Amino acid sequence: MSFDGSRLPSDPPLFPRDPQRLGLTTAIYDGMKMKSFDSRVYSVGDYREWSESGQLVLSPRFQRREVWTETARSYLMDTIIRGLPIPKVFIRQIIDPSSGKSVREVVDGQQRLRTILSYVNDGFVIRRGHNREHGGLFFSQLPEDKKLELLGYEISTDLLVNLADSQILDIFSRLNSHAVVLNEQEKINASHFSEFKKLADAMAHEFYEYWIKNRILREPQVMRMADVSLSADLLIAMCDGVQSKKQIRSYYTQFEKDFPYDSDKLAEQFRQTIYMISRIFPDGVQNSEFRRIHIYYSLFTAVFHELYGLRGSDLPRGDLLSANLDQVRSRLDHVDEVFGDPDSPGLKDSDRQFLNDSRRATTDASVRQRRTEYLLKLIQGS
């Protein structure tokens, strides 16, 4: 539901006017105006100028003293140099009584600003894995037009004017009270910045319409990064064979240190695998059992193995590129038959095992490997 700012005079107030009705002490709000902040935009150049003139304070007592990794710093600057938005910054503007100058204390966004200021002062370079064009270059080595563009990059900023510490802390308590608890993939994405993370994000977003159209994922799931989780899971299988989904975090951590794979090659193999699945199922998988995410995973790994081979797998490979895809589709339709009549006396032991493995929706490596092997045999007609 959207809010357009128009309310009839007779409408009741959105919030109680009496702070005590909210369970708060009136002392916090003594002297506070109805609106105690201004939303503005300041450029990187503005923040740099304030820092050099001593008008920017980056370590007020209510800021966490966390330190970002070099990878995280590189990822932020890659975001900025591409002209993409970053989270807003909160600063408190106060008057220094001794000098009469305005001083800006960073309330939230300290590490972002430290990173930006360090970069424009040649403190580090963006990694080549994040940006091939500008990676490995210090700010002073960038083309002049890119320097000006970066210094003109606008940062959304909420300016808090003359608020006491108690009021600042209350504001952030309120902001945090509305935060949604992060799921596993959201936590992973918040703390990793490697080339693998970038690749998983890119593949997830490139195939957004595919996930939705085929009912593999729903839009609310995509909003909570289920598409990134699936893409990462599939990419891990492409790199290191079929693994348990529980290993996703450990692979993100491993690949944060070193990602010894060609991202362009993996991206193209990812596309070609989905393209082959789309050729086998020209009308999509949305009306089949393959729309179920754990079964789709096994279909993807089976087709990938046919095309490129799964690392460490001794499963036989056929020649899917020259196979009659209508016949392949017909054999894969057997999966729907198995689910449609699970008590059929005509089912083989392998059918029943696949049915059992699929019903449990488990993501253990051994079960995933059995499902992949079962689908491979259907594809190959063996």
User: In terms of domains, do 55 and 158 share one?
Assistant: yes
Contact between 298 and 375 under an 8 Å Cβ cutoff? The reply is: yes
Is 103 strand, coil or helix?
A: strand
Q: What percent of the chain has pLDDT over 70?
A: 88
Q: What pLDDT is stored for residue 66 in this prediction?
A: 63
Residues 343/295, Cβ–Cβ less than 8 Å: no
Residues 6+ apart with CB under 8 A from 323: 379
Q: Please choose, from the candidates 241, 236, 242, the residue with its C-alpha nearest in 3D space to the C-alpha of residue 254.
A: 236
CA distances from 36 to 32, 42, 161 (A): 7, 18, 7
272: Cβ contacts below 8 Å, ≥ 6 apart: 307
Beta strand 37-43 with 89-95: parallel, antiparallel or unpaired?
A: unpaired
Cross-sheet strand order for the sheet of 102-108? 37-43, 154-161, 89-95, 102-108, 56-57
Confidence (pLDDT) at 65: 59
Q: Evaluate whether residue 6 is within a structural domain.
A: no
Query: Do 214 and 351 share a domain, yes or no?
Result: yes
CB distance 308 to 268 below 8 Å: no
Q: How many Å is the Cα radius of gyration of the chain?
A: 27
63: pLDDT strictly greater than 90:
no
Same domain, 41 and 132: yes
Res 361 pLDDT > 80: no
Confidence of residue 101 (pLDDT cuts 50, 70, 90): confident
Shared-domain flag, residues 236 and 345? yes
Domain boundary among 162, 197, 226: 162
pLDDT tens column, 169-179: 787 777 767 67
Residue 173 maps to a domain: no
- pLDDT tops 60 at residue 3: no
Indicate if the pLDDT at residue 324 is higher than 80: yes
Q: Residues 151, 195: one domain?
A: no
Domain extent for 118: 37-162
What pLDDT digit, counting tens, does each position of 131-169 carry?
A: 999 999 999 999 999 999 999 999 999 998 878 888 887
Q: Are residues 45 and 155 in the same domain?
A: yes
- β-partners of residue 105 are 57, 92
**What is the total count of domains within the chain?**
2
